[in-house]
Structure 1
């Protein structure tokens, strides 16, 4: 049984980590968040210590470290994006392996720095790249691998996840903290595209605002038109007023059905990590570099059919 700590316990994604810790037969020893809305702990790990100041959390973890029977083994990081780097380093320096949500960090230079901390501490950093464990994605990757070599599939990615006014008041609406829509809600899709279609060869941005972004990505085996949005007005008429989210990925005109099977992917990811088969810094590098480039690009006019169909309705 591994002994876990959780940083960012009040966040949206934290319950999936708590569930994964429990379902893999391990123990959540202590948790931290500046917010105290963490009642979910009662149903998953009621004996866990909880702190609202990082200094007290770190001091407690250091105290545990002095006793080999009580020391923490793994720190899970679910804090806001801009704090990942600091919290990962803290966990590694506590003598723990670290499991962190996406995006791992905003840029490649920080990945290099974290790799240095890994070497200094002898501990490992693991990234949650859960779509790599989704059976529909695994099946598509296999189809691409056994298919015609050097064939460029035509892919269209559309993801609209409606967010209310609270979003822009939270850290997620601050690009200094979330690093923008493409990074915050798109990074796992970019990892998925790389996982399936190979190395990225071209990256173009066609539109970007605080609510949405669109562009074109060309991989070894795919041409991808993408559109991401948190604006409910972008929802297709077929789902508007019925569902707050629209997710669609087509490959050569055929819909890839992966709307189901998301519930347990964090548990699957945790089990893979515990089995020594998780995804580390170098596995995350490609999607980190992709979103770093997207943030640096100036929007260009779409040409040669590279624009997403929703692009024509943007201004």
Structure 2
């Protein structure tokens, strides 16, 4: 049993293990000394010494069995606590994550049944009106008898499927950051902002910090940038920005002096002589 293992045991169990080790050491010393003295002592004393040794051995074995039982009991209790902790975490995850998500999925999947039922009711009302009047045209109808646009007037979202905005899981950190900034802005101004309004305010703050440059990439979306004419690069703004960049094309970082000092080879001189002939 190592020291690190004893630290995680109960105090009583660790004390029993230490006592067991001390008794074992004491017994070893007593048995060695007893066998040494047994040669010079009488048989009665030897018998008594053996009885003492047997009694000590029995007590040590009893203590060993007790320590083993307590250790098994502690390990089983520790495993039970770990299993129980996992069950509680799993139940909490089911109650707060799995079940609400499952309910939302079921609601979205089953929402088409209500839309289908409403369409069937509208179709039944239209058929009853047609059977009563004989002919029905959308340009000629009496709103007092039958108005096909009644529900659209009452509810603009009638028979429309509303899809919530897509929240990319990869951008969760950015969404959380935007929600925090929007909450701070609402606390400062005392007004509730939608995410679209908050984005517009953030864009306005960004434009106020940047220099006022017309037709720059900071103030344009990708679609607006693609709509620019091809001769935009020849505009006055681009010409002025190019004039600000001062470059000297004659400068070079390559050192040509070592090449001028290098001696010419004899083969190169012979080739030059052949060429000039």
Class of the TM-score when normalised by the shorter of the 2 chains: under 0.3
| Greater Rg by CA | 2
Q: Return the structure number with greater relative CO, CA threshold 8 A, min gap 6.
A: 1
* Higher share in helix: 2
TM-score (norm 1): 0.19
